[in-house]
Structure 1
């Protein structure tokens, strides 16, 4: 019961660009944009039939960083983005992820990553400011957001392998 209460509390925090569980899409953690420069960056590599591609991304590790996500951001670069890992921030193993685009002015490709590092699903060119849920459709351990259209442009697809330094 305590775990359910903890997960329910976390669900309220993880709403911004990303929602923590399927039932809590309407609860938003309003954010002010935050200090992106203070967020840790790392190289994320995607390898598959489309070749090898490296992104320099911010890492959202805490519930607050994951709630803020890429809301309010207009400064995304073609090889930039944000990695939500571990997902969810509180850990507890892979789970179905639901994201939304509330307060997010830039279309994104949302890449849902299984525990084995393979891409489960890519939600391409998500609609800015939309509050419609974008789901992983299966349990995932991480989520990568990149500029909308980049996955198709680079030939990134489901089943491709995603890696980064320190990934367990």
Structure 2
């Protein structure tokens, strides 16, 4: 016996359930290990912003960012990038990272709500945003490296 095809209401209900499950799972996270020339590695648990929409929103409207956490913007391929702090209420350090994991630039203590563009000095694949001061406390500087690992 042939089963009837689901109606539009059934399909819509399935889509809502799937979307709710994805939202409940939360954003994809990665462990970013920052390795300074001197000192101990710094591990950051970062939300991954790999889609245009996620990169556009970034950390906007966040009022706090827990220590040891951040957001990793993945642009998919090396390219010049520009970041800003519009609607971001937390002071941040921005680490511009090349495709090979080399930190090419650090913009420390970026002022909340600023619309000043922070442009990469060269093509980068990633930008890691962390709490202001964390890069200095970790002894990080351009030339240090970052390694990425997906988290479950």
Shorter-chain TM-score: what band?
Answer: 0.7 to 0.9
Question: Considering only aligned residues, what root-mean-square deviation do their CA atoms show, in Å?
Answer: 1.6
- Residues 152-163 of structure 1: pairs in structure 2 closer than 5 A: 152-163=136-147
Confirm whether residue 142 of structure 1 aligns to residue 130 of structure 2.
no
Task: Tell me the matched-pair count.
Answer: 127
Stretches of structure 1 that go unaligned for 5 or more consecutive residues are: 1-34
Residues 29-76 of structure 1 show CA distances to partners (whole Å, capped at 9, x for unaligned) of xxxxxx797211121101122321111111111111111000011231
The CA deviation at 1:99 is 0.4
Whether the 8 Å CA contact 1:122–1:158 is kept in 2: the answer is yes
Give the distance between the partners of 1:155 and 1:74, measured in 2 at CA.
26
2:105 counterpart (121, 127, 135): 121
Residues 1:43 and 2:66 are matched in the alignment = no
Q: How far apart are the structure 2 equivalents of 1:111 and 1:165? A: 17
Task: Considering fraction of residues, name the structure with more strand.
Answer: 2
Q: TM-score, normalised by structure 1?
A: 0.71
Deviation at 1:151, TM superposition (A): 0.3
Aligned to 1:28: none
Q: TM-score, normalised by structure 2?
A: 0.79
